[in-house]
Amino acid sequence: MNDGDIKMKAGFIGLGALGKTIAKRLISEGVELSVWNRTKERSQGLDAKWAENPAELVSETNIVFICLFDSNAVTDIAGSENGLLSGDLKGKIIIDITTNHFEPVLLFHEMFLAKGAFYIEAPVLGSVVPASQGKLTVLTGGEKSAYDIALPFIQKIGSTIFYLGKPGLPTKMKLINNLILGCFMVAIAEATVFGEAVGLDKEKVLDILAAGAGNSMVLAAKREKLINEDFSAHFSSSLIYKDLHILQDLAKSLKRPLFTGSIVKELFGMTLFREIDHLDFSGVYKVLKEWG
């Protein structure tokens, strides 16, 4: 296969908050898209063709994006009846945006290769706002020749793209990045709660943090959510909790301790206990404020 064989046509599986935003971005960039999701209602508002199942979808396109909650979901849509593995995969390229567990992602490379397909591991850094602008950071790995063909599609959703090559490395790096992401969010939320506790206006606290040690992409992205306490999900607490849990598994496999990540994971665990884990991960502010 060479890039001359591929028109700007692709399939997309997984229309959650991030997935649907990325699908919209691809369509706006001129990609003719076929989509599938467990609930068809999620496809409403997309100028895309609906596929009845993953096998049908992969039969219609050479490039298929997957954007799911976790590795269990990827395993299910691949191996179930009328799943991806039951379709004609020879020469197809699977681009998996899912933040996977570092162990099954290695199996995904192997199982698609066994069917004659290429698997590009491609977790992303960023949530729905940069996704809508095509400004995600994409960490990729897999067969270089397939990556080169997939790159024009990936460039439509990402402004910064790293090719890490070796299977598993993109997933591990995504988990490491989310250690920083989770820690920053908790630190900003806790600092905001402390500022309010000593009598400062919340907006003033955030302005000062932005001018000082708190200046970060995380604060810039979540400032308005904290001010307005609008925790509608861009990136949910359940997702960061899942990722930090996998990071603990990675630390265990390396026989290394994980200090800040473990504490931060348990704080996000409190959002599950409070049944607010479906909200944006900036909603950890609510947990910390309740304790104050």
CATH number at 232 reads 1.10.1040.10
Predicted model pTM: 0.93
Which of 140, 165, 190 is the last residue before a domain boundary? 165
Residues 6+ apart with CB under 8 A from 51: 11, 34, 35, 36, 57, 60
Over residues 157-170, the pLDDT tens digits come to: 999 999 999 999 99
Over residues 102-150, the pLDDT tens digits come to: 999 999 999 999 999 999 999 999 999 999 999 999 999 999 999 999 9
Going through 77-229 in order, the beta strands assigned E by DSSP cover 93-96, 118-121, 124-125, 136-141, 158-165
Residue type, 270: M
Closest CA to 191 of 217, 166, 209: 209
CB 39 within 8 A of CB 17: no
> Averaged over 236-255, what is the pLDDT?
98
Say whether both 13 and 101 belong to one domain.
yes
Going through the chain in order, the beta strands assigned E by DSSP cover 9-13, 32-36, 49-50, 63-66, 93-96, 118-121, 124-125, 136-141, 158-165
Say whether both 178 and 148 belong to one domain.
no
Q: Which domain holds residue 284?
A: 172-291
